Amino acid sequence: MDYLGFLNEIAKSRKVIGYFDTYFPEEFAYAMGLHPVRIMSDDEEPVRANEFLQGFCCPYAKNILEQALKKKLNFLSAAIFTRYCDSLRGVYEVWKSEKLSPVVEFIRYSQVVRETAKDYLSLEFKDVFNRVKKALGCDYDYDSLKYAISKVNKKRKALQRLYSMRKEGKLNISSEDFYKTVFSSTWKPIDEFLKSCEALFLRNNSVNVNFDDKKVVLSATELDNLNFFKLLDEIGFFIVSDDIASGTRYVKDFVSEEGDTLDDLIENIALRYIMKPPCSVKDPSDRRIDELIEEVKTSGAKGVIFFRTRFCDSEGIEYAFIKRRLETEKIPHLYIESDHRLSNYQQLRTRLEAFYEQIVGI
Ligand code: SF4
């Protein structure tokens, strides 16, 4: 069953809560018995969304609004946005005014990546989830939140193992299949996801492959279109690791399970989400760049492919700093720009093929 079919089915037995970036603290949703899902882009062309959003809004933001306006996301009981970028902020305003889901909320994150923001964010989480509790008739307490934290930590551990196996050449699956699995962790029930990981671990137990010449690291914000990964497979690249919001930036760092009170646990969640590997919308995002370089060095990648979603300002600005660091480190890279539909597919193919020849040297 496809992603939307699956979520429509789940919504028959559980309330589904949608989110749009990985700053959403999914632990609260699980603790309240809700099913959190990251809304992924599909191949819808924005038509109705253009009535509401400016031409320079990013195509991902327009696409998810289009899906909602076309009632494809009617299975959602709630949609929760966070303070991420201006495009998503615009989508939130339209979502709220058009009442595109019964509950619409916005978590106002502090823009800075600093431990001192923890107290503020804890209060903000309490405020937002108190309103969600009231509106959806659900609740969370110390035990349910502690259990949810440990479940999400298990999911992140399984994902970390998948990434390690990939780096060690012990996971012989295509990039398309690898990212299909990784992205499914943001919409499948956790137990089901863990089962599919176990099956992969067992199947690849004794695998040992060497893709040394073809290894690259992919850097992007969101990149849901699996056809892009298929294209990279066809050209011959092996995506050994990444710097993607719903990839390694989602996987790294756990929420501490220590603490005797509900407030302790909420503070632990706040701390993890403030200090997690930052996206380009946060300040400072040095950790992201340091870790990208680290991924290249530890994986033995030959280069970096930087995919910028068209009109994404923060990625455009951050690219200047990433480029400088990659050049200083003498790491070859390719900058490409496209949208969720890969509308410039043939141009992308040509540029990627040229980069492949440059780094693999065939
Ligand atoms: S791609 Fe950039 S502009 Fe678009 S939603 Fe993500 S951060 Fe915002």
What SS3 state is found at 194?
Answer: helix
Cα radius of gyration (the chain): 20
Residue 5 has pLDDT above 60, yes or no: yes
First-residue to last-residue Cα distance in the chain: 40
Instruction: Please compute the mean of the pLDDT values over residues 80-86 and round it to a whole number.
Output: 94
What tens digit of pLDDT does each residue of 16-33 get?
Answer: 999 999 999 999 999 999
Q: Is the C-beta atom of 307 inside 6 A of ligand 1?
A: no
pLDDT at residue 284, as a whole number: 85
Q: Is the C-beta atom of 60 inside 6 A of ligand 1?
A: yes
pLDDT at residue 182, as a whole number: 97
Instruction: Please compute the mean of the pLDDT values over residues 42-52 and round it to a whole number.
Output: 93
Could you tell me which residues come within 8 angstroms of residue 135 by beta carbon, excluding any fewer than 6 positions away? 78, 102, 103
Instruction: Please compute the mean of the pLDDT values over residues 228-239 and round it to a whole number.
Output: 96
Q: Is the C-beta atom of 85 inside 6 A of ligand 1?
A: yes
Q: How would you class 261 by CB atoms within 10 Å of its CB: exposed for 0-12, middle for 13-18, buried for 19 or more?
A: exposed
Q: Which atom of ligand 1 is nearest to the CA of 61?
A: 5
Nearest CA to ligand 1 atom 8: 85
Instruction: Please compute the mean of the pLDDT values over residues 331-344 and round it to a whole number.
Output: 95
Domains and CATH numbers, the chain: 3-140 (3.40.50.11890), 145-360 (3.40.50.11900)
Instruction: Please compute the mean of the pLDDT values over residues 88-98 and round it to a whole number.
Output: 97
Instruction: Please compute the mean of the pLDDT values over residues 314-324 and round it to a whole number.
Output: 95
pLDDT at residue 209, as a whole number: 80
Q: How would you class 178 by CB atoms within 10 Å of its CB: exposed for 0-12, middle for 13-18, buried for 19 or more?
A: buried
Q: Is the C-beta atom of 61 inside 6 A of ligand 1?
A: yes
Residue 362 has pLDDT above 80, yes or no: no
Q: Which atom of ligand 1 is nearest to the CA of 20?
A: 5
Integer Cα distance of 54 and 343 in angstroms: 19
Q: Is the C-beta atom of 87 inside 6 A of ligand 1?
A: yes
Could you tell me which residues come within 8 angstroms of residue 146 by beta carbon, excluding any fewer than 6 positions away? 257, 265
Round the average pLDDT of the chain to a whole number and report it: 94
Instruction: Please compute the mean of the pLDDT values over residues 286-308 and round it to a whole number.
Output: 95
What tens digit of pLDDT does each residue of 104-163 get?
Answer: 999 999 878 889 999 999 999 999 999 999 999 999 999 999 999 999 999 999 999 999
Residue 72 has pLDDT above 70, yes or no: yes
CA of 73 to the centre of ligand 1 (A): 20
| % of residues, the chain, pLDDT over 70 | 100
Mind spelling out the 3-state secondary structure of 107-150?
Answer: ECCCCECCHHHHHHHHHHHHHHHHHHHHHHCCCCCHHHHHHHHH
Q: Is the C-beta atom of 338 inside 6 A of ligand 1?
A: no
Instruction: Please compute the mean of the pLDDT values over residues 172-185 and round it to a whole number.
Output: 94
Q: How would you class 186 by CB atoms within 10 Å of its CB: exposed for 0-12, middle for 13-18, buried for 19 or more?
A: buried
Residue 219's pLDDT band (cuts 50, 70, 90)? very high
CA proximity to 154, closest of 121, 193, 123: 193
Integer Cα distance of 25 and 124 in angstroms: 12
Nearest CA to ligand 1 atom 5: 61
Identify which of 85, 219, 281, 306 to mutate to test ligand 1's pocket (most ligand atoms within 8 A of the CB): 85
CA of 308 to the centre of ligand 1 (A): 9
**Length of the chain as a residue count:** 362
Backbone angles phi, psi at 68, to 5 degrees: -70, -45
| Ramachandran category for residue 71: left, alpha or beta (phi over 0 → left; psi -120 to 50 → alpha) | left
pLDDT at residue 347, as a whole number: 97
pLDDT at residue 204, as a whole number: 81
Residue 125 contacts residue 9 (beta carbons within 8 Å): no
Residue 212's pLDDT band (cuts 50, 70, 90)? confident
Identify which of 41, 63, 66, 88 to mutate to test ligand 1's pocket (most ligand atoms within 8 A of the CB): 88
Integer Cα distance of 338 and 192 in angstroms: 32
Q: Which residues pair with 106 in a beta bridge?
A: 81
Integer Cα distance of 3 and 187 in angstroms: 8
Residue 2's pLDDT band (cuts 50, 70, 90)? confident
